[in-house]
Amino acid sequence: MAQFRSTAPCFVVADIGATIHWYEVRMQGVKDFYESVRQHVDIIRPLGKQFYGDWEFEVKDPNGYVLVFSELID
């Protein structure tokens, strides 16, 4: 998990009024990062381009939180 802290030192918390929370990590190089961690984490949603232009993937951390890693690609 040290990779997450060194790559993304701050998280945006989204509270949707339910029992889940997720943290969004905006970053550069999300495709390379995905390839480096995908065999080591619980992937919820694999890397893919979203209709709003971001490349994103989601993982579940050991505490059950959802981490969304994203990069805006034009």
Token couple for 63: 């505490």
What's phi and psi for 53, nearest 5 deg?
Answer: 100, -10
Amino acid in position 55: W
CATH number of 2-72: 3.10.180.10
| Residue 29 pLDDT | 94
Average pLDDT over residues 3-27: 62
- Whether the per-residue pLDDT at 35 is higher than 50: the answer is yes
**Alpha-carbon torsion, ordered 11, 37, 2, 42, to 10 deg:** 70
| Residue 27 pLDDT | 93
The backbone region for 45, taken as left when phi is positive above 0, alpha when psi lies in -120 to 50, beta otherwise, is: beta
pLDDT (tens digit, 9 = 90+) per residue, 36-68? 999 999 999 999 999 988 999 999 988 888 999
- Whether the per-residue pLDDT at 70 is higher than 70: the answer is yes
- Whether the per-residue pLDDT at 10 is higher than 80: the answer is no
